[in-house]
A = this chain, B = another copy of it.
Amino acid sequence: MDFKIAVIKGDGVGPEIVDEGLKVLDKIAQKYNHKFEYTNVLGGGAAIDVTGEPLPKESLDTCKASDAVLLGAVGGPKWDNIESSKRPEKGLLALRSGLGLFVNLRPATMHESIKEASPLRADIVEKGVDFVVVRELTGGIYFGERKTGVENGVEFAYDVEKYDENEIRRIGKKAFETAMIRNKKLTCVDKANVLDSSKLWRKVLNELAKDYPEVELSYMYVDNAAMQLVKDPSQFDVIVTNNIFGDIISDEASMITGSIGMLPSASVRGDDFGMYEPIHGSAPDIAGQNVVNPIATILSVAMMLRYSFKLEEEAKAIEIAVTNVLNAGYRTKDIYNGVGQVVGTKEMGDLIANQI
């Protein structure tokens, strides 16, 4: 089959990790007889340098005309002093909203072979970490009204956390569906003892729950969730939450797995289209040194094959290849703990591609 992929290499380690992702995709194409057509588009700091904008219109248009987007990472200190509306992160937010990607799926999975890398105590880790955070990605305080002004000589600023029932329903459905293909436990993380918006989330989710009688739905306040993730992450299966709580909770979730260089993510919407990227950032301090771990990006490619192209076998092939290479003892520097062999970014990509 033929697929069009828009590729945003981005900044820092972005180009290096995307190259390894594409290397693995090429191997899949060859082995399974598919055609992946890549179009490089500018985004983030790289786009600012060339066009002055973090997401030029042509970039968004090319993404829209593709079947999926593969993104490396954007941002870095180089663009820190640019006026905030033109910063690399704004390109990312514009992509999410411009492409209508309202669902962010972030699996928090511990890789068996590197579980000592988790910052948690061994007896907690022993119980396993395997859940998914379903984060709402195009609403809430990220995209609500905001303003800075002066009232009676006093400067103020505000940001509005706003949701309507339709926004909550569509992300809620995705969360219930995700729970249905997993262990059928859904936890909504909110602050319903304080926020009206959280109360609306509960109302809509309670309604949706009737359509998914097999799913056990529960609610947890976000402050408690921040504690429970550290205390016993094995209690979670699927977490659904708003954009800002999702930002915090999913980063905490990634960290406790100890596998932050290995975690992929998918941003999707109602149809098959999606944007795939590692959860880690652009890490400018190690860029260009052939040391960054490409596995998060390679696993993001697997998610792309699964969700956007419905190529389950090919997705599995990549995941198995990654597991085999790790089991054989190969490690990038970030996950090396004294046992096995350290390899560079390119070598890790080669090893995984060769396993396919």
- 1/0 contact string of A160-186 vs chain B (CB within 8 Å): 111111100000000000000000000
- Give the residue name and chain of the B residue nearest to A204 (CB): B155
Most chain B CB within 10 A, of A161, A203, A231, is at A161
CB <8 Å contact, A230 and B230: yes
CB distance from A10 to the nearest CB of B (A): 16
CB <8 Å contact, A226 and B197: no
**Given A227-B252, A251-B223, A256-B230: A84 in contact with B199 (beta carbons within 8 A):** yes
Q: Which of A97-105, A146-154, A295-303, A342-350 contacts B (4 or more CB under 8 A)?
A: A146-154
CB <8 Å contact, A196 and B119: no
CB <8 Å contact, A194 and B142: yes
Question: Which B residues lie within 8 Å of A158 (CB)?
Answer: 144, 160-163, 196-197
A60 at the interface (CB under 8 A from B): no
A29 at the interface (CB under 8 A from B): no
Question: Which B residues lie within 8 Å of A196 (CB)?
Answer: 146-148, 157-159
- Give the residue name and chain of the B residue nearest to A165 (CB): B155
CB distance from A339 to the nearest CB of B (A): 16
CB <8 Å contact, A156 and B148: no
Question: Which B residues lie within 8 Å of A89 (CB)?
Answer: 193-194
CB <8 Å contact, A224 and B197: no
Question: Which B residues lie within 8 Å of A156 (CB)?
Answer: 162-165, 200
Residue in B119, B162, B223, B251 whose CB lies within 8 Å of A120: B119
- Give the residue name and chain of the B residue nearest to A151 (CB): B164
Q: Which of A15-23, A209-217, A242-250, A268-276 contacts B (4 or more CB under 8 A)?
A: A242-250
Question: Which B residues lie within 8 Å of A121 (CB)?
Answer: 118-122
Question: Which B residues lie within 8 Å of A148 (CB)?
Answer: 196, 199-200
Question: Which B residues lie within 8 Å of A244 (CB)?
Answer: 191
A259 at the interface (CB under 8 A from B): no
Question: Which B residues lie within 8 Å of A122 (CB)?
Answer: 121
Most chain B CB within 10 A, of A120, A159, A162, is at A159
In the bound assembly, the distance between CA atoms of A248 and B230 in angstroms comes to: 13
Main secondary structure of the interface of A (DSSP, over half): helix
**Given A151-B164, A222-B247, A223-B248: A230 in contact with B119 (beta carbons within 8 A):** yes
A124 at the interface (CB under 8 A from B): yes
In the bound assembly, the distance between CA atoms of A356 and B142 in angstroms comes to: 53
- 1/0 contact string of A238-270 vs chain B (CB within 8 Å): 000000110111111011100010000000000
A94 at the interface (CB under 8 A from B): no
CB distance from A116 to the nearest CB of B (A): 9
In the bound assembly, the distance between CA atoms of A199 and B155 in angstroms comes to: 12
Question: Which B residues lie within 8 Å of A162 (CB)?
Answer: 156-159
A1 at the interface (CB under 8 A from B): no
B-facing residues in A69-106 (Cβ within 8 Å): 84, 87, 89, 93
CB <8 Å contact, B199 and A227: no
> Could you write out 23 A-B pairs with CB less than 8 Å apart?
A119-B124, A121-B121, A121-B122, A146-B196, A146-B197, A151-B164, A154-B166, A156-B162, A156-B165, A156-B200, A157-B164, A158-B161, A158-B196, A159-B162, A159-B194, A160-B160, A161-B161, A226-B249, A226-B255, A227-B251, A227-B252, A229-B252, A248-B248
> Besides the contacts A156-B163, A159-B197, A223-B250, what 5 more A-B pairs have beta carbons closer than 8 Å?
A84-B199, A142-B194, A146-B197, A226-B252, A248-B248
